[in-house]
Structure 1
Amino acid sequence: MSNILYIDDEQPNLDVFYACFFDRFNIFLAGSGQEGSAILQQHKICVVITDQRMPGETGTEFIKREKENYPDTVFMILSGYLDFDTVKESLEIGRVYRFLLKPWKEESLGFEIDNAIDKYYSSIKNKQLVQELEQKNEALNLLQQKLQDEVIYLRNELNDSYNNSEIVTYNAQLKGLLEQLKVIASTNASVLITGETGTGKELIARAIHKASNNSGPFISVNCAAIPDSLIENELFGHEAGAYTDAKNMSKGKFELANNGTIFLDEIGEMPMLMQTKLLRVLQENVVERIGGKDQIQLNLRVIAATNRDINEEIKNGRFRLDLYYRLNIFQLNIPPLRERRDDIPVLINHFIAKFNKKYGKNIKSILAPKMAFMKQYDWPGNVRELENVIERGVIISSNSNLNVDQLIFHDKVIDEQIDLTLTNVERKHILKVLEKTSWKIGGEYGAAELLGLKRTTLLAKMKKLNITKEV
């Protein structure tokens, strides 16, 4: 049976209440609010019914005091006096379930008590359901976070296997740099990679990570692509409720990269205030989520990269010297593509093979005069620009030779001092082959065969390029 407490300062009222309901409920009786409080402390009471006018303390005063201690218990007032203000106050404050008048009828009062008991157990059940839902939501959030972490890890693992094979070079300087990677990878020291845009700084960073003993993921962050107002949240994460839209906890990039490598690309674009916070993380190897108090221990390698002159940035007060020293344990400078032109043919062949596979093509080569042009071009966008050009070429090519005639290069296509265009290179190369074959155009060992062209195609090109045999 449910426990019911009835409080009244008149003993006859207590006796009548007990006689009416002892066989339906487990009845507790009290002659004052003080006695009622003692019973509430000792027993789990579902419903409290109290008289309003009692010596020392009114029913509403008792309820105000005890409702906060027993929020699930349902309180009702039973009074012989109809005080409208008291009724209004009691109901408006939400602490009183019903205000009932004496004399009462057993049937109607029993009905109200039954409803109050239902309300009590509904409140308990709802709280349990809310608690279970919160626990399930927490478990779901943890699972979701774990899945997100695994997705990031797997994505970066795929990127590692895909990208590490793209470090292709014959250049002595770059080969020497790649040899240094073996030494660097054996430590957990910070690395600063410098070089122009498109030289392959992230490829080098991934190669260091791949060669290291770190079991965690490679997490790449482009500092220039994140607004100043969001970069702290992106790097360090936040706790649930840290700000208005922060409904769930979110790990930052540093935490996601734990036991692995974090790559801070375009570090020179990082705001000064954020540089200060980053320095603290590097010094103490801990991170705190926004809105949190716990320090999360870190064990990772930090690799930073910039296309800026970092010394000039320090001189102009745009980059912290102490942060530079912290990052610059090892510094690697990647030469631009124009300083390693011998790599251009091997890179072209590498990218042709890559995009043949991607687009289902069978491009086998690039004609010699066009290769000569590609080697002379300065490639201001470096390897990235070359890769984009080759990808477009593979897409638009309809035979086994790479079509570069219609490709769009960087705005700065070629230095004005170099009198070399694709047309001029092609014209000179055809003339050279014609002279080599004594101007034999068709047939075996003719110029068309050596150039890999049909006789009619070569004749059309000769006409277009105004190539005629001098008599």
Structure 2
Amino acid sequence: MLIADDEESIRWVLERACTQQGHSVVAVGNGTAALAELRARPFDVALIDIKMPDLSGLDVLQQAREARIDTLFIIMTAQNTMANAIEATKRGAYDYLTKPFDLEQVAALIARAMELRRLTHDLERLRGELEQRHDLVIGRTPAMQEVYKLIGRVAPTDATVLIQGETGTGKELIAKTIHYHSSRGGPFMALNCSAIPNELLESELFGYERGAFTGAVERRIGKFEAAAGGTLFLDEIADMPLALQAKVLRVLQEREFTRVGGRDAIRAEVRIIAATNQDLEAAMRAGRFREDLFFRLNVVRIAVPPLRERRADVPELIEFFLDKVNRELGTALVGVSAEARDLLLRHSWPGNVRELENALLRAAVLAGGRTLVPEDFALAGEPRQAAGDALPLEEAVRRRLAELLAADATALPSDLHALLISAVERPLIEVVLERAGGNQVKAAEMLGINRNTLRKKITELGIEIRRGTASR
């Protein structure tokens, strides 16, 4: 939970009382910091003072609601006026507290808010279970049926799971499916070990105490703590530094951890699912991965087959992704031609399901008609059809947008700009990373952006980095 008040004494009293009640607390001294914390991570409940020197509590509440942050807000005010109560309720506050307040009253109010959050999470979990069940059942081949059987057996347990598969095979989706089919009521949290600098990875996992290092002005909880009662998905576990592997091993063995700069052991009530696109046995032999950690993670192993080994699933995946493109971009595509279907069935798909999705998305944006044809696709390793007639990229995009706008303006989404930017941004970063051989410094230079900005984009867009020789 989050506490925001410019009076240090009130912050101290509330943080101490809430911690004694078993809540994980982040306390800040102004509205700007409160809003930054709300945007950085999920909170169940936020106690926000109505009057702060920069942003008022009501302003924080309004901006959080505009950003679709669903934290329950309790507004604290020194003036018990009807105007404050009405305004707080109008802006979406759960309740309000009048200073000076009784700590028992605060505890009771927080308990009611937490119970509401628990019920809401239960509903969201059930909804997510249905959605994930629909998403995953895209694949009827024997190889995928074996994956489904393993998920069904392991989901009801708390066993640690290791998912192995090439880039783009859907390892995170399988991890989410295991979580949503389990009885764990906590959140699903994911961390890509290759997308975060080594020096920051430990604090991301375990959190840190105030003063633990330069810039640590407030206590911050890590993924192990944020995922309490739920599942923590550690993607690209093979890229984790050896020193940190030892600390993760201790969590798996002792079921407890300590924040960076802290002394108290914190119980790790979390299930671990790890994933990698590398050969961990080879990494062990090379001394890059701890043998004892491997055996702790490898309780149940799920091997996700590459798309080239389940080509019979391609037609169903095409149908699913075209339906998704039509919903998200407001297009009215009816399918792919027989020739295009044959092309997609023949392709080797080194980027697997993600490459297929991106190929269909690019084709949908640039297509000249409602049925996709071979000329609409530019697949890696495949000759581009009608290359002499290809339009410059800017002109092709302009024509496709004009067709979208002319087709049916009422069917277009209201956030077309954001949708199209995101549709272009992900394949752009993936192509540049592939050309840079997975080197993020080189990729950032090619893109003309800051390396930290690139890392943030990689995490936000869920991009998996394929390491290897840069394309020439």
**Cα distance change, pair 283–366 in 1 and its aligned pair in 2 (3 A):** same
**Hey, what does 2:9 align to over in structure 1?**
131
| 2:246 matches 1:276 | yes
Q: Counterpart amino acid of 2:43?
A: D
Secondary structure of 2:233's partner? strand
**Hey, what does 1:89 align to over in structure 2?**
none
**Cα distance change, pair 405–290 in 1 and its aligned pair in 2 (3 A):** same
Matches within 5 A, 1:149-228: 149-150=43-44, 165-167=134-136, 168-228=138-198
Larger displacement relative to structure 2 (261-270 or 392-401): 392-401
**Cα distance change, pair 232–160 in 1 and its aligned pair in 2 (3 A):** farther
If you compute each CA radius of gyration, which structure gives the higher value, 1 or 2? 1
Q: Counterpart amino acid of 1:371?
A: R
* 8 A Cα contact 1:196 1:336, kept in partner: yes
**Hey, what does 1:361 align to over in structure 2?**
331
**Hey, what does 1:447 align to over in structure 2?**
none
Measured against aligned partners, the alpha-carbon deviations of 1:78-114 in whole angstroms (never above 9, x if no partner) come to xxxxxxxxxxxxxxxxxxxxxxxxxxxxxxxxxxxxx
Structure 1 residue 171 displacement after superposition: 1.1
Q: Counterpart amino acid of 2:134?
A: S
Which of 337, 342, 359 is residue 389 of structure 1 equivalent to? 359
Measured against aligned partners, the alpha-carbon deviations of 1:8-58 in whole angstroms (never above 9, x if no partner) come to xxxxxxxxxxxxxxxxxxxxxxxxxxxxxxxxxxxxxxxxxxxxxxxxxxx
The 1-side partners of 2:26 and 2:166 are apart by 41
Q: Counterpart amino acid of 1:165?
A: H
**Hey, what does 2:285 align to over in structure 1?**
315
| 2:316 matches 1:346 | yes
Which of 258, 272, 296 is residue 228 of structure 2 equivalent to? 258
Structure 1 residue 165 displacement after superposition: 3.0
The 2-side partners of 1:253 and 1:213 are apart by 20
**Hey, what does 2:274 align to over in structure 1?**
304
Q: What count of residue pairs does the alignment treat as equivalent?
A: 288
Structure 1 residue 397 displacement after superposition: 2.8
Structure 1 residue 395 displacement after superposition: 1.9
TM-score by length of 2: 0.57
**Cα distance change, pair 246–343 in 1 and its aligned pair in 2 (3 A):** same
Q: Counterpart amino acid of 2:343?
A: F
The 2-side partners of 1:360 and 1:280 are apart by 49
* 8 A Cα contact 2:336 2:372, kept in partner: yes
Secondary structure of 2:199's partner? coil
* 8 A Cα contact 1:365 1:400, kept in partner: yes
The 1-side partners of 2:185 and 2:238 are apart by 28
The 2-side partners of 1:273 and 1:130 are apart by 37
Structure 1: state its 5+ residue gaps: 1-127, 415-420, 424-471
* 8 A Cα contact 2:340 2:373, kept in partner: no
Superposition CA RMSD, Å: 2.8
Structure 1 residue 159 displacement after superposition: 7.5
Structure 1 residue 406 displacement after superposition: 3.5
**Hey, what does 2:237 align to over in structure 1?**
267
The 2-side partners of 1:255 and 1:338 are apart by 39
Q: Counterpart amino acid of 2:310?
A: R
**Hey, what does 2:97 align to over in structure 1?**
none
Structure 1 residue 176 displacement after superposition: 1.4
Structure 1 residue 408 displacement after superposition: 2.7
**Hey, what does 1:15 align to over in structure 2?**
none
**Cα distance change, pair 186–162 in 1 and its aligned pair in 2 (3 A):** closer
Measured against aligned partners, the alpha-carbon deviations of 1:387-416 in whole angstroms (never above 9, x if no partner) come to 001111222234321245143323x348xx
